[in-house]
């Protein structure tokens, strides 16, 4: 009799416990594909519109990781950090996402890839830098993705060429 009493108590407690919210039903492959597409659109907008294309991808509270600078959220900081590079008419920044991952809820994700920047120095030499990056994305109410974090690291040695 005692065993059945504890079983009844356990069943009552389980029945009264709050339900675990169900995760939304989504296709992880489709979410990853949409992240890759968002990153490719970000690259295309930057190639076409420079700084304005770069800025259009960022959430208002985004953070960009820059060497020797503290983490400072907000698009004003990102614009100030990137404006000098985009002011140089010889500057080109390109990148290609190579993989994407999504949260279990499908509302956050990140892309990883490779980047390359090019510009000419004052003495006319071409300067090429390459590296890897990670971009963290947050899904917006309209289903689009916005960047909430962008950071990368350069490869060991930049190249100087006659481009």
Q: Which two tokens stand for residue 40?
A: 């490719």
Predicted pLDDT at 161: 53
Look at residue 81 in the predicted model and tell me its pLDDT. Answer: 95
Asked if 136 contacts 148 with a C-beta cutoff of 8 angstroms, the reply is yes
- Model confidence over 89-130: pLDDT tens digits? 999 999 999 999 999 999 999 999 999 999 998 899 999 999
Instruction: Give the pLDDT of residue 69.
Output: 87
Predicted confidence at residue 160, as pLDDT, reads: 53
- Fold classification of 27-161 is Nuclear Transport Factor 2; Chain: A, (3.10.450)
Structural domain spans, the chain: 27-161
- Residue count of the chain, please give it: 163
Which residue do the tokens 């956050």 mark?
108
User: For residue 62, what pLDDT is reported?
Assistant: 97
More confident residue, 2 or 89: 89
Cα 21 from chain centroid? 27
Give the residue ranges of DSSP H helices in the chain.
Answer: 2-16, 28-49, 51-56, 75-87
Q: Which helix (H) or strand (E) holds 77?
A: helix 75-87
Is the per-residue pLDDT at 11 higher than 80?
no
User: What does the pLDDT average to over 12-21?
Assistant: 42
Give tens-digit pLDDT for 17-69.
444 444 557 789 999 999 999 999 999 999 999 999 999 999 999 999 988 88
Q: And the tokens for 36? A: 């890759």
């Amino acid at each position: 009799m005692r065993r059945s009493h504890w079983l009844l108590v356990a069943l009552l407690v389980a029945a009264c416990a709050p339900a675990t919210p169900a995760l939304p039903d989504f296709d992880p492959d489709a979410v990853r594909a949409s992240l890759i597409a968002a990153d490719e659109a970000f690259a295309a907008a930057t190639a076409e519109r420079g700084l304005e294309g770069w800025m259009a991808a960022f959430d208002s509270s985004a953070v960009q990781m820059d060497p020797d600078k503290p983490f400072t959220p907000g698009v004003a900081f990102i614009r100030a950090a990137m404006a000098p590079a985009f002011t140089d008419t010889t500057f080109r920044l390109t990148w290609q996402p190579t993989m994407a991952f999504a949260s279990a809820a499908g509302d956050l994700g990140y892309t990883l890839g490779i980047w390359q920047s090019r510009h000419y120095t004052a003495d006319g030499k071409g300067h090429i830098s390459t590296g890897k990056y990670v971009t963290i994305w947050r899904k917006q109410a309209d289903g689009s993705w916005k960047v909430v974090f962008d950071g990368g690291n350069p490869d060991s040695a930049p190249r100087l060429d006659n481009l």
